[in-house]
A and B are shown apart, each in its own frame.
Chain A
Amino acid sequence: MATVDHPQRLARSGIAADAASRGWAAALHEWTTTVDHKKIGIMYVLMSLVFLVIGGIEALLMRWQLFYPRAEVIGPNVFNQLFTMHGTTMVFFVGMPILIGIGNYMLPLMLGARDMAFPRLNAFGFWITLFGGLLVYLSFITGAAPEIGWFAYAPLTEHTFDRNAGTDFWALGLLISGIGTIGAAVNFIATILGMRAPGMTMRKIPFFAWTMLWTSFQMLLAIPPLTAALVMVLFDRQLGAHFFDVQNGGSAYLWQHLFWFFGHPEVYILILPVFGMVSEVIPVFSRKVLFGYEFMAAATMAIAFISLGVWAHHMFCVGMSRTLDLYFAAASLIVSIPTGIKFFNWLATIYGGRVSLQSPMLFCFGFLSMFLIGGLTGIMLAAAPFDFQLSDSYFVVGHFHWVLIGGTLFGTFAGIYYWYPKVTGRMLSERLAHWHFWLLYIGFILTFGPMHVSGILGMPRRIYTYDPSRDWEWWNQLTTIGALVQTPSYAIFVYNLIASLWKGKPAVDDPWDAWTLEWTTSSPPPSYNFETQPIVHSRRPLWDLKHPDDPDWQYE
């Protein structure tokens, strides 16, 4: 099989190369002022990894406290701060930025564009997101981290109940980083719809672009209501307004509606790009085209729309009317149809393929097996009567970690293992990758599996300790041990990322024998991405190049 050659290789943009050739001060200056989508993408990912470590430490502290009944490792207030910061960090400063970062790096390359549509907005978005994260963490330094949960239920956030500045830092930080997220969404949409290579019609864009498009669409519709709600909280706290001030006629119920109108689509913002990444990886490592591209694209759109109308399944226990309960349960169950379509299409892509179990594909299998279970517990919770029993219990914590780690994280790792050679020009160590995978997989099942049981046994979420008479300790201890099993896997991953920059096997332009445009340019890509403007005739432009005698466009 022929590969695509590039006669000259010009300026490169790898981190190590930069630092080595120019000295740290110059490199730092270059990185802080850059508007190159690739550098910005890398910075987003690095920022997320730092926050991932911080969020992980917070989780370990909570698990330490819950290992024994009546433990006194950390008090109730610190525990509240920890679960607030943990959830906030993971959703806003790990999940979204890592996906935005990968999208930023890869999309222009996959679409055959020179850069994102608005490079300066892109840089602005990154810095303001980082600034928002730092602002939220600044609350620790003032000795008053927020104690309100990532959902910040009113009226606990009102000044009457919470004089702590932490809540203000929290609201302001999320507000600011939300503006960055909207900027990113605007940029993605403009890039995908307006900057594609000649010949790349919407029916030919890489599948990852479809999912980034719909994720961006959800960001546009879901983040501004959160922004508005955060403004309202700040007005209540700072100016004496009454939006959520129940003593003066305000409504705690309104907060829940606004928050979950954001919060539910948010979980799809966190999963759709991952659907895209595994849809890039699975075909390449099965040596088959993605099965049912059109159906997959339509299903993505359906998910994006339906999930805007199901938010109140987080509110069954608030006491809505029977009619609303019914509507929101039914609408939530409908989401499983397009999700199921995607799932079967992935299986059909693998079925009959020549599957190779290298690390990106391994993580896809992790994703497929675990996301299935997480989806099923979601369907259970969407049945209102079932939710009446288990809402606010550890079962819910089990469900959403199962989808967020089994889904978002495994899929993101698949993407990182897949694209690392392109970004750095080096291969990651497969041996370490397998250690990473298995420790994470086993540790993850051990951590979050038992949560479903402790939830069914009646353990509420957000409690900082429990009585031995409840018989919950065995399950909690399993969970904590699982967390300890997971921990080294992240360390191995980070070590692999760093060590391979220097020690990794040099990567060729197209190490996986893949089919999308990013693999035609050098690894790492030059700052201008492509030496000549690529022209596209099918969904697999590289296949066409490699097989001029039997190109795809004949069949599409």
Chain B
Amino acid sequence: MNSKKPMGQRVKEFVIDYKRQWEIQSMVIPGIIFMIIFCFIPIYGLTIAFKSYTVIDTLDSAPWVGLDNFRIILSDKYFWDAVVNTLGISFLKLAIGFVIPIILSVMIYELSGGRFKKIVQTISYLPHFLSWIVLGGMLIAWFSSSGMFNEILLNLGIISKPVNILLDANKYWWIATLSDIWKEAGWGTILYLAIMSKIDPTYYEAAKIDGASRMRQIWNITLPNMKPIISLNLILTVSGLLGSNLDQTLVLMNSQNRAKAEVINSYVYRMGMTQGDFSYATAVGLGVSIVSVILLISANKVSSKLNDNQSVL
């Protein structure tokens, strides 16, 4: 710690301290070993994005090819299709899926409490605990020609003949977005509700005396108090734009909707795991992570400008 002491003495002190602390150090060491093996070795493994790796190679014996893999990616039509789908679905999820939990949490917050509030909360959290495989299976059942959706639409007279919209590629983006919102919107309210419960109630009392309507109170008290947590959530959502849900795609994608369903992650999975093109798939993955980090940093910059130069991260 003390930088004025000579190097040798500092090392010596460190060793003595370390030996004295061996018992507590022995608790941390397994974690360090874990991180080195399972986190840092794969980060080193990213170098195969710059190599031509085949099954017979090891990580070190594969020849370097520089940026060749990236050059191929840029001229790959299927990659760009996946990019378009990822961005399309992510922006729909961002535009709708980001706002709904905020509205929902305000609505729940405005309930006067009691049984109904509890029931609404319990039910709205539940879908979060279903896996995408389970939900995918449910969606397939709901959309099937004898399933619930067709039944409702037939009864309402919207359609005259059952259709399976999961086979309609043009509707896939909406299916992906809306099913994601159905699953996660309620869960998204928890954090907002927790922050809202900390808003000083005297604000509302003062507003009431001034004759502010309920909508006005929400607009001028609740939402401004939520601004920091909303921006934090927005930053995290923006940085995850390119990594949209792999499980969801794998279970909902079929031969009919593939053109609109393939996202970058499922493309990486298909190129790497099914076709064995490890270098190519790693290069795609690396490119996505770099763009994600750039998005994270720029979103943080923008939001700190909007929040009076206070960085949220």
Do the two shown chains form a genuine complex with each other? no
Residues on A lying within 8 angstroms of B by beta carbon are none
Residues on B lying within 8 angstroms of A by beta carbon are none
